[in-house]
Chain A
Amino acid sequence: MAGLQALVQRVLRALVWRALHALLCPHRTLISAPRVHPGTWSWIWRLPKPLVNRGTSRSPSPHPHLHPHLHRLQHRDSALAATRPGLRWRADRQTLCKLPVHLTLLITELEPSFSDVASIVVWCVAAGISYVSVYDHQGIFKRNNSRLMEEILKRRQELSGLDCSRYSAELEKSNVKDGLVLNCRSAVQVLSPVDGKADVVRAAQDFCQLVAQQQRRATDLNVDVFDGLLRSQGFPDPDLVLKFGSVDSTLGFLPWQIRLAEIISLPSHLNLSYEDFFSALCLYAASEPRLGK
């Protein structure tokens, strides 16, 4: 009798859970529905798997964090943006009291769009950000590095055609691996998980090799020494990470380097509007890193 009571209670709780789930997260319930076998009662216990790495891009609704800034920016003249972006960028840049030195675009969506990412990179460069990286955990950008760089140059020429003097393309073969220097002010690089944990392991192996050869002692190692052993291609640690997609994780991005990075989430990089991008920069400008103090 007690066993039956417990079973009934379990079933009821599971049903209430399912009802709440359907009410609060309708799109997740729809996606998980095909996995359910409605013929048997066991569907109650077959719970939908969490949406890790699905990277479903929902309809681009503004992120709650960005709301206050978004309303303010909607009054801007969108015609101005279309015709004279150079002027607008200069004006916008002056309103920001703080700009990140190194900005990363972290794409968690499964199918990234090269042209959209290229646009965002060009906006970053136009805003005056010196170092820009692009990361995705599947390594798609890394494998198609040259295609991304072509898109960036194409977008850059399209947009900078209106304001040549400031953004003249000084293309040079740089010593940045998997990247390029767009002008003497900005550099772009492409990253993947091999640049994160794998690089830390490589640095650890190198140090242990030195210890085995008795050139260093184990006690010589501290945080600064180890930092020096890691490969950074001359890029400083990221200040701002713009995360695109619905996955709430950095997906293995440079674990050592992001200790103080602000992580701002945006719903999707597909058709991202300039206003949303600028709002994220405004959010960063308003942040106050206390550095432990």
Chain B
Amino acid sequence: ASQSAGAKRGPAHWGDEGGVSSRAAVTCSSSATSGVVEVGFPRRLRCRVNGETRERGSSVRSRLRATLRASWRSDSKITKVIWLVFCSGVISDIARTMSWIKEGELSLWERFCANIIKAGPVPKHIAFIMDGNRRYAKKCQVERQEGHSQGFNKLAETLRWCLNLGILEVTVYAFSIENFKRSQSEVDGLLDLARQKFSCLMEEQAVSQCRLCPSSSPIREKLKKHGVCIRVLGDLHLLPLDLQEKIAQAVQATKSYNKCFLNVCFAYTSRHEITNAVREMAWGVEQGLLEPSDVSETLLDKCLYSNHSPHPDILIRTSGEVRLSDFLLWQQKARDMYAEERKRHQLERDQVAVTEQLLQEGLQASGDAQLRRTRLHRLSAKREERVQSFLKALELKRADWLALLGTAPA
């Protein structure tokens, strides 16, 4: 695990990707007539939003409303049109910031840097702990909910960077089981934010149905274009049923894509993940699919929620804390010095089992070496067969549960 990167930057700079809004703002300020009010406003909106430059206590929506009102009051029709175009650009920028993957290409300099970085070794899987939303909100003197929303926007931008750098698997720690201890209003706010984002994902008709995302192409199409498979890891049964259904629908809709993978850890802690894996193995023993001696580290790996992903190469925690906080504890990468020893132990146990078997059949334990070898081989083949059938059954159980949830009436 690495220490935090200590990122202290603000959220996405709105209006930077869309060429329309910045150009419209320039036109406004250069052709100043008596009708134009608040020429400085577009520039402030375009600025990087961080603790220093943002006006205290202001929210974008209230300023937008004030600007719209002011623009209608102005006499000039051209001014009205320009302001409308600018405002719609701003609205679409804000809407784009709500989406899962930020639209818009990188700037020339960013593309240049990305190409240089891609010439060297690039991690295949990065995990993020998105920490510090509430502290950020306090610093900017906005609501906590706004802090969480900004956090999501930053995540969307980060996903874009990862896609551009060729990092094809990203895991994010969105909501911990420990977070249920927070105040009810905060938990409800977080779950509402999740409902919003997962609903957005499923909208097919962008303009007519989704008021939140009037962008040119629905998010679902964007996910299809980039081939993003979304997986949600965690004890989902702890969430409200409607959210579970939305999550199941999103996962079902994207499960066939395989170009890149986004794992969202929701209602997740690593201890619960490990315990669940052991519980599944115990279920396998109960069902007669497994023997207790089949339990091994590799089998446990394959029973985790994150069994389809490789272990992360880098773990990034924002905001400066140096803890893992129950995230991907089992999935630490370390050179396995004991693999040989484990194989040796397994072989010894198998030898003992074969000896017992031979003695039970009334044969000489240390007799025919060929017979022993055959028996050993048969033992390990049977074990392999049991493990494969157990894993298939587990996969089926999970898929069935998701499918049932996903097709539940909304």
Name A residues whose Cβ lies closer than 8 Å to a Cβ of B: 9-10, 13-14, 16-17, 20-21, 47, 50, 52-53, 65, 137-139, 193-194, 197-198, 200-201, 203-205, 207-209, 211-212, 216-219, 221-223, 226-227, 248-252, 255-256, 258-265, 287, 289, 291-293
Contact = CB atoms under 8 A, between A and B. Distances in A.
B274 A212 contact: no
A250 B332 contact: yes
Contact of B278 (A16, A20, A194, A226): A226
A206 B291 CA distance: 12
| From B119, B278, B338, residue with most partner A Cβ within 10 Å | B119
Nearest to B121: A47
Interface string B171-186: 0000011111110000
Interface stretch (B62-70, B90-98, B207-215, B294-302): B294-302
Nearest to A194: B338
B297 A260 contact: no
Interface of B: 1-3, 115-121, 176-182, 269-272, 274-275, 278-283, 285-286, 290-293, 295-297, 300, 321-326, 329-330, 332-335, 337-338, 342
Given A53-B335, A204-B300, A263-B3, A17 B119 contact: yes
Contacts of A50: 121
A249 B176 contact: no
A13 B119 contact: yes
Contacts of A260: 323-326
Contacts of A205: 292-293, 295
B325 A259 contact: yes
A218 B283 contact: yes
Contacts of B281: 204, 208
Contacts of A208: 278, 281-282, 285, 290, 292, 295
Nearest to A248: B2
A252 B332 contact: yes
A250 B1 contact: yes
Contacts, number: 154
A207 B324 CA distance: 27
A279 to B, nearest CB: 14
Given A13-B118, A260-B324, A291-B178, 19 more contacts: A16-B119, A17-B120, A137-B334, A137-B337, A139-B337, A197-B297, A197-B330, A200-B300, A201-B297, A218-B279, A218-B280, A226-B274, A249-B1, A250-B334, A262-B322, A287-B321, A292-B176, A292-B180, A293-B181
Contacts of B116: 13, 16-17, 20
A263 to B, nearest CB: 5
Contacts of A265: 3
A242 to B, nearest CB: 11
A212 B269 contact: no
A143 B117 CA distance: 42
Nearest to A252: B334
29 contacts: A9-B115, A10-B119, A13-B116, A17-B117, A65-B3, A193-B337, A193-B338, A194-B338, A204-B295, A208-B278, A208-B285, A211-B285, A221-B278, A249-B1, A249-B2, A250-B332, A250-B334, A255-B270, A255-B329, A255-B330, A256-B274, A259-B326, A262-B323, A264-B322, A265-B3, A292-B176, A292-B177, A292-B181, A293-B181
Nearest to A221: B279
B120 A263 contact: no
B188 to A, nearest CB: 16
Contacts of A249: 1-2, 332-334
A219 B279 contact: yes
Nearest to B272: A223
Contacts of B322: 262-264, 287
A196 B117 CA distance: 35
B180 to A, nearest CB: 8
B270 A259 contact: yes
B286 A138 contact: no
A10 B115 CA distance: 9
A139 B332 CA distance: 18
B2 A212 contact: no
Nearest to B321: A287
A238 to B, nearest CB: 11
Nearest to B269: A259
A251 B342 CA distance: 18
Given A52-B335, A207-B278, A292-B182, A223 B271 contact: yes
Contacts of B330: 197, 255
A212 B297 CA distance: 19
A198 B338 contact: yes
Nearest to B330: A255
B275 A223 contact: yes
Contacts of A223: 271-272, 275
Contacts of A255: 270, 329-330, 332
A21 B286 CA distance: 55
B275 to A, nearest CB: 5
Contacts of A211: 282, 285-286, 292
| From B271, B278, B321, B326, residue with most partner A Cβ within 10 Å | B278
A227 B285 CA distance: 21
B116 to A, nearest CB: 5
Q: Which 5 A-B pairs have the closest CB atoms?
A: A292-B178, A218-B282, A208-B292, A252-B334, A17-B119
Contacts of B280: 218
Contacts of A139: 337
Contact of B324 (A21, A65, A263, A293): A263
Contacts of B291: 212
Contact of B120 (A47, A259, A289): A47
A219 B292 CA distance: 16
Contacts of A226: 271, 274-275, 278
A156 to B, nearest CB: 30
A67 B177 CA distance: 35
Contacts of B278: 203-204, 207-208, 221, 226
Nearest to B298: A201
Given A205-B293, A255-B329, A261 B120 contact: no
A261 B293 contact: no
